[in-house]
Structure 1
Amino acid sequence: MSEHIPVQQLPHQPRTHKPTPAERGGKIHTRSFSGIFRRLRMTIAGALALLFFGTAWINWDGHQAVLWDLAERKFYVFGTTFLPEDFLLLAFVMSISAFLLLAVTVVAGRVWCGYACPQSTWTWAFMWMEKITEGDSYQRVKLDAAPWSLDKLFRRSSKHALWILASLATGIAFMGYFMPVRTLVSDLASAQLEINYSFWVFFIAAMTYLNAGWLREKVCTHMCPYARFQSVMFDKDTLIIGYDTQRGESRGSRRKDEDYQAKGLGDCIDCHLCVQVCPTGIDIRNGLQMDCIGCAACVDACDSVMDKMGYARGLVSYTSERQLESSPAQRKSTKPGIRWRTSLVAYGVAIVALLAILAISLQAREQMALSAYRDRSVLRINSLGEPVNVYRLKLTNKTQQTQTYQLSLESDSSLYLTKTYQLTLIAGERVELPVAVALKHNDPIHNTGGHIDFRFHMSNINQPEQTIYQSASFLYRGK
């Protein structure tokens, strides 16, 4: 008679919580991974880096293509010169950018943080430098725990040398938009750069080194205001990185060919790879969190595991709260997408209105600026007995080419310029010109006294269609 071993039902043991790197504190060592979203992020980051480091070296009509020359108070943007009085245009551009960011946030969540934010872009670059000098995540953890040696000193020194070089390049490139970059590099190399520019080069370099090399995710989670107010912008249709609990739970390890569903397991094998690749050190399976920057590193990592196990992709994916709360049948009929809502329509209207105002302002913007002020202390009579007023005209050439201008008067009376005024201004030049205007003695109104309204007319000799007018008043005394 065979002996039977009694079967005893064991109570359910709750899953032991494994602290995430963010919960443990300390430095986060992200694991290397690959995937479609990583390639997309690298492509965008490469394009932005090329734009940032390369634009300042482009010449346009004899000037640096983009230059905010603070010393001269002139702003060159691809062939157009802007002056401080054009600041309103910059305000429109910044307002459009702000509303556009808000609209993108409503639709796609923190896609800006994950793919285009300078902090994220530079952090990923610094993490790559760390990888090529100190190895992958487990090698870096081992190196941190190892005692100091020549190998550790060499690896750490190499990493920080690359960080410092990248930071200096960033500081130089940034200041290259506020001082001609070729002059900046030449003066810096010869130690002749002015102290104020030197300070800002090294200040930007130091901030880059600190933020991208040391603070990293702490800038996103504790310092960035966008991370704080983004939750206000989200709704149930906003695109987020989400974990499908209906499909993934319960979690547990298993063999690839095992009937895991018979054991009551979901598709999540609890490998923690999604946690190991996260730059902010969170577990996306715990739900939507403020620390998530939407970079989709966990999506790439999870998809690679699903491929190896032979499961369908999408256990962690770009989705929405509405999708996560719906049943599997409903998900097949409704896919995440742009759903129009009041906030999105309002942002769209604001963006269109601001774009229209900006376009009209740019179209109406003159290529030269003229202002006229009568010198109150100069009211005289010339040798012909005619009253004379003196005006101070300020003329600005807003183009990036040398232009020649001709001054004339428009008046219903016998006002005339005491001499011919023709002047040549180089690109962006501003001059102040004293101009004398006289009233002919044979004019009938000469005897009445009072004032005469007229206009100064400044025309571009090279381009006659460019003209500008400035109103003024002529004062005189009757006989």
Structure 2
Amino acid sequence: MEIIPVVQDFTPPPPLAHDGKFHVRLTSGRFQNLRRLTSWPLIALFFGLVWVQFDGQPWLLFSFEQRRIILFGSALSWRDLPLLAGLLIAAACLLFFLAVAWGRVWCGFACPQSIWTWLFIRIEDLVEGSAVKRARQSGEPLAGLRLLRRVTKHLLWMLLALATAATFTGYFVPIREILSDSLQLQLSAAVAGWLAIMAGLTYINAGLVREKICLHACPYARFQSVMFDNDTQTVSYDARRGEPRASLRRGASNSGDCVDCGLCVQVCPVGIDIRDGLQAACIDCAACIDACDGVMLKLERPKGLIRFASEVQLRGDKGRFLRPRLAGYGAVMLCAFSAVLYGFTGTTDLLVEIRRDRGAMFRQLDAHTVCNVYQVKVEGFSEAHRFIDVSIAGEGHYDLYGPGRIDLAEESASWLPYRVCTRDPKLPRAVLTFNFDGGSVQTSKQTTFLSRSF
């Protein structure tokens, strides 16, 4: 086994800021362009989808007040929530598949924590200057123009955090109602409190805490090692090529390609040194790859000193992409998505609940007439089914007293009283069937009819 010599007098580059705060240095390159091509459409969807309407209804809304989920124009009942749980499970399988294949690319390219952190960093860079400038001024008094820039930065952060909170809340309460109530100062205490909490959390997470979420709070960082194998492609430093590190001035004939410039550390949003090997905090954003490739191009050396590579490839062997673990995750992912898609074909269009009157099991009106009282609730989840006809069927002759037609636009999710009577009870307990007909949708619900005590 080849032993790579290490420069003994190596000392890591000093912190970028005098006060110990880590300032992320922005870089450019193909992976950063790819990250923007991934994140910006997601940002546009997040902020834009909440405003889209279909036939006067939000295209995506989780309404607690209406007890329904509007998903891409189709209304689902709360009994269809297992479908959303299945969708989350399928998405988790996709995440595991990506982790086995390419490491934490989700974290670096599409995770909301990472996307909003980069947004806040760009605002900071735009208002207060580059990372080098911010680090150089970190020990200076906070006054004058620098104080104005600092206040402006935090105000912009708060504005973005508030917009994020309002948009997120708009997926549970129609965004137009939130905006209208806010302008008229009629926002409810619950919604106002939720907006304040969400805005505060966004401001703290993306503006102040940042990489500590990835380092200490993200559970994915803790169990990623379980999914990795020797063929997982992840951001890696090629120590065989880079060591021993030496600057251009101290370089020797046996020096590696790493010139110890420290740029890979300065551009890392979580502040790690990729040259120390695979670490749980690494989010595979590939910023260090772009920074290192830029240095290699200037030195007229081959790119790829830091690159997406597996342990097998770093040893100089040929890696393999398709392997049993990856195929297993892929099969589970496809099965999960197929099951969810099939489940969406059988969603609930009409939801019916029936409960008996708890005050009395039955009522004897005269010597021959026995009545039972029921409470019926009908909920419709399609705009095409507004009127529902109600009828009753059972062994014998029964009369139904109550609304024969229900207008779901006015009485959906309301408990309606019904009375069922018979003059010829054949059995002490009979099975009744309430039939609900909405034209293209029908459903029925069984209940019991009691004619005497047991």
Q: In structure 2, the residue corresponding to 1:430 is in which secondary structure?
A: coil
2:354 corresponds to 1:372: yes
1:449 is matched with 427
State the alpha-carbon separation in 1 of the partners of residues 268 and 7 from structure 2: 28
Aligned counterpart in structure 1 of residue 257 of structure 2, from 259, 264, 267: 267
1:468: how far off? 0.4
Number of equivalences: 447
Q: Is this contact kept in 1: 2:236–2:278, CA < 8 A?
A: yes
2:407 corresponds to 1:424: yes
1:346: how far off? 4.2
Amino acid at match of 2:416: L
The superposition leaves residues 109-163 of structure 1 with CA deviations (integer Å, 9 ceiling, x where unpaired) of 1111101111111110111011111111211112212223312112212211211
1:476 is matched with 451
Amino acid at match of 2:345: Q
State the alpha-carbon separation in 2 of the partners of residues 284 and 402 from structure 1: 59
1:7 is matched with none
2:288 corresponds to 1:306: no
State the alpha-carbon separation in 1 of the partners of residues 448 and 7 from structure 2: 93
Q: In structure 1, the residue corresponding to 2:450 is in which secondary structure?
A: strand
> Normalized against structure 2, the TM-score is what?
0.90
2:428 corresponds to 1:459: no
Q: Is this contact kept in 2: 1:100–1:351, CA < 8 A?
A: yes
State the alpha-carbon separation in 1 of the partners of residues 19 and 150 from structure 2: 21
Q: Which protein, 1 or 2, shows the higher relative CO under an 8 Å CA cutoff with sep ≥ 6?
A: 2
State the alpha-carbon separation in 1 of the partners of residues 157 and 363 from structure 2: 69
The superposition leaves residues 154-197 of structure 1 with CA deviations (integer Å, 9 ceiling, x where unpaired) of 22122112111111111111111221111111222332211121
Give the direction of change, closer, same or farther, for the CA distance of 1:44–1:352 in structure 2 (3 Å limit): closer
Q: In structure 1, the residue corresponding to 2:301 is in which secondary structure?
A: coil
Matches within 5 A, 1:46-445: 46-254=40-248, 263-325=253-315, 327=316, 330=317, 334-335=318-319, 338-342=321-325, 344-375=326-357, 377=360, 379-381=362-364, 385-400=368-383, 403-418=386-401, 421-426=404-409, 429-439=412-422, 441=424
The superposition leaves residues 422-475 of structure 1 with CA deviations (integer Å, 9 ceiling, x where unpaired) of 11112993122222223354xxxx4x4322223211011xxx231101112222
Q: Is this contact kept in 2: 1:398–1:427, CA < 8 A?
A: no
Q: In structure 1, the residue corresponding to 2:348 is in which secondary structure?
A: coil
Q: Is this contact kept in 1: 2:77–2:348, CA < 8 A?
A: no
Give the aligned CA root-mean-square deviation in angstroms.
2.8
State the alpha-carbon separation in 1 of the partners of residues 217 and 53 from structure 2: 37
Q: Is this contact kept in 2: 1:79–1:399, CA < 8 A?
A: no
Q: In structure 2, the residue corresponding to 1:17 is in which secondary structure?
A: coil
**What stretches of structure 2 of length at least 5 have no aligned partner?**
1-5
Give the direction of change, closer, same or farther, for the CA distance of 1:406–1:371 in structure 2 (3 Å limit): same
State the alpha-carbon separation in 1 of the partners of residues 411 and 229 from structure 2: 48
The superposition leaves residues 60-81 of structure 1 with CA deviations (integer Å, 9 ceiling, x where unpaired) of 2322222222334332222233
Amino acid at match of 1:365: T
Q: Is this contact kept in 2: 1:105–1:233, CA < 8 A?
A: yes
Identity of aligned residues (%): 37
State the alpha-carbon separation in 1 of the partners of residues 15 and 223 from structure 2: 24
State the alpha-carbon separation in 2 of the partners of residues 427 and 80 from structure 1: 20
Give the direction of change, closer, same or farther, for the CA distance of 1:297–1:25 in structure 2 (3 Å limit): farther
Larger radius of gyration: 1
> Normalized against structure 1, the TM-score is what?
0.86
Moved more, 12-21 or 204-213: 12-21
State the alpha-carbon separation in 2 of the partners of residues 44 and 109 from structure 1: 17
Moved more, 20-29 or 95-104: 20-29
1:349: how far off? 4.2
Amino acid at match of 1:408: S
State the alpha-carbon separation in 1 of the partners of residues 239 and 7 from structure 2: 19
The superposition leaves residues 179-225 of structure 1 with CA deviations (integer Å, 9 ceiling, x where unpaired) of 11111112223322111211111111111111111111111112222
State the alpha-carbon separation in 2 of the partners of residues 300 and 397 from structure 1: 54
State the alpha-carbon separation in 2 of the partners of residues 64 and 309 from structure 1: 55
Give the direction of change, closer, same or farther, for the CA distance of 1:437–1:356 in structure 2 (3 Å limit): farther
Q: In structure 2, the residue corresponding to 1:409 is in which secondary structure?
A: strand
Amino acid at match of 1:132: L
Amino acid at match of 1:366: T
1:227: how far off? 1.5
State the alpha-carbon separation in 1 of the partners of residues 335 and 145 from structure 2: 60
